[in-house]
Amino acid sequence: MTMMTAAKRSSDQTPTCQSVALHSVTYEIRTFGDPVLKAIAEPVTNIDEKLVRLTDEMFDVMYKAPGIGLAATQIGVQRQVFVYDIEEERKVILNPQIVESSGEWVYDEGCLSIPGLYVEMLRPKRILVRGINLDGNQVEFEADELLARLFQHEVDHLNGVLMFDRMTPDQRREAVTLYRAREGQPKDAEPYHLKLV
């Protein structure tokens, strides 16, 4: 997921290619239209060195983008893994599940896989997410507002769901049209915003 402040920072930097080469693997952020974004990720059953390396690489890709959250599916890896950092703290959650949600909150949501488009949308305000950390322990987080939004957005990715899939057919047509228009513009052009509420 991206937020406007993160996107603004990127425009101050020299434009760079959105890929990071490490350990001879190059991960690129997959964007809308890539079928991997529609696939449902497989649960993690084994936490090994390879998985830890994957999460390190995900952080590198996320920070470079820059974004505040990244799901493994966004770099073409079909595993239930996401990383995030919204308070200068790197966090990894494996096999996440949203077990409770309540309230309503509107937020101008961005996605690294839908660059240049922010969508103001309504989702639950508070959630309880359950998953596993890199030590293999079950973890539970209560989250509110931005953090709750981030969890919902990343869990959606692991289920093959993009922001476009949370729209009515009319809204989706408008959103895709805006996205396509923005695609033809320079990377550092101002993003488009769409209000669904």
CB of 67 to Ni ion, least distance (A): 8
Spatial distance between the Cα atoms of 36 and 56, rounded to a whole number of angstroms: 21
Q: Tokens in use for 153?
A: 């957005």
CB of 15 to Ni ion, least distance (A): 21
Selected range binding Ni ion among 106-114, 119-127, 133-141, 168-176, rule: CB under 5 A: 106-114
**Residue 20 lies near Ni ion (rule: CB under 5 A):** no
Q: In this complex, which beta carbon is closest to Ni ion, that of residue 111 or of residue 129?
A: 111
**Residue 150 lies near Ni ion (rule: CB under 5 A):** no
Query: Of 42, 87, 89, 154, which one is the catalytic site residue?
Result: 154
Selected range binding Ni ion among 54-62, 103-111, 115-123, 176-184, rule: CB under 5 A: 103-111
Selected range binding Ni ion among 86-94, 111-119, 142-150, 177-185, rule: CB under 5 A: 111-119
Residue 103's nearest CA partner among 129, 124, 127, 128 is 124
Q: How far is CA 172 from CA 101, 136, 163, 175, in A?
A: 25, 39, 9, 5
CB of 151 to Ni ion, least distance (A): 12
**Residue 111 lies near Ni ion (rule: CB under 5 A):** yes
Active site residue 89: no
- What is the footprint of Ni ion within residues 23-62 (CB under 5 A)? none
Give the single-character DSSP code of 189.
S
What is the number of alpha carbons within 13 Å of residue 25 lying toward its C-beta?
14
Give the single-character DSSP code of 132.
E
Give the single-character DSSP code of 72.
G
**How far, rounded to the nearest angstrom, does the alpha carbon of residue 164 sit from its chain's CA centroid?**
13
Q: Which residue is nearest to Ni ion (CB)?
A: 111
For Ni ion, the binding residues (CB under 5 A) are 111
Question: Which residues carry out catalysis?
Answer: 154
